[in-house]
Amino acid sequence: MMVETLPAVRGKLTADAPLAKLVWFKSGGPADWLFEPADLDDLRAFLAALDPAVPVMALGLGSNMIVRDGGVPGVVVRLGKAFAQVTAADAVTLECGGGASGILVSSTARDAGIGGLEFLRSIPGTVGGFVRMNGGAYGSEVKDILVECDVVLRSGECVTLPLDALGYSYRHSQLPEGAIVVRALFRGHPAEPDAIQAEMDRIAASREASQPLRSKTGGSTFKNPDGHKAWQLVDAAGCRGMQMGGAQVSEKHTNFLINTGDATSADIEGLGEEVRRRVQESQGVQLEWEIQRVGRP
């Protein structure tokens, strides 16, 4: 895809852009193109003018993702500062840009005395990713707080979707392929900032104690199957600490894979597939990936 065939932009458009440094696993190949739009109008105009055959994928903080070693075809869109604002719309509602982090959303909610959004403190991602994946932790998920969201469709059209249009299930939505979440409205409830901070501290301490936060990891690897906890199944299959190349099943939390230093994405994904095979063989349960795997092998 030559640059002559791409629409002009006001933001930043980079060819053959390395993605490894932008994702938590620190592995994987480049994007054909990385687009960091200047603002909403820039994003809409670019997508409207882009050949409809070119695939488009949004990238947030890259926490819940394996970028395969062959890189990502088409255009990867990364929302920057223009999409990272969070403001209180009223006493219980926050208006959040699609590029805002969970930590910014939860701390803004605390300062505004809005409770119920504390769990976002513990999810390493952006609003766009939370909305797409129905992100959740500590007993809450996005479907519990979302009022509506604005998405830019692959065509460049911007539409507002209410909660019930997203077809939420566990870690899944029915957002159209190539749609990019640019804004979300989250509703909580009135609460004392001190109580909100205490809950955020409790969540942070719990994560620190149970998860390998200092490692190059991708967060929860597999969805919890009905009636089971994924980490217990992985442990029971004898996979704790198992390695493949530079990838390892975490000793601290067996539903986390870690890059011990020089793992390729093929190492990480291959290890995950071997874990799935062993769990199926030993316990008859089919683990489903929670981590997105994107790009060319």
In three-state secondary structure terms, 235 is helix
Q: Can you give the C-alpha Rg of the chain in angstroms? A: 19
Q: By CB neighbour count within 10 A (0-12 exposed, 13-18 middle, 19+ buried), where does 90 fall?
A: exposed
CA-to-CA distance for 203 and 118, rounded, in angstroms? Answer: 8
| Active-site annotation, residues | 171, 220, 290
Bridge partners (DSSP) of residue 75 are 33, 56
End-to-end CA distance of the chain: 20
CA-to-CA distance for 142 and 253, rounded, in angstroms? Answer: 24
Q: CB neighbours (10 Å) of residue 221?
A: 27
61: DSSP letter: S
State phi, psi for 282 to the nearest 5 degrees. -85, -30
CA-to-CA distance for 28 and 181, rounded, in angstroms? Answer: 24
Q: In sequence order, which residues have a C-beta less than 8 Å from that of residue 90 and are 6 or more positions away? A: none
19, 71 in Cβ contact below 8 A? yes
75, 31 in Cβ contact below 8 A? yes
Q: By CB neighbour count within 10 A (0-12 exposed, 13-18 middle, 19+ buried), where does 53 fall?
A: exposed
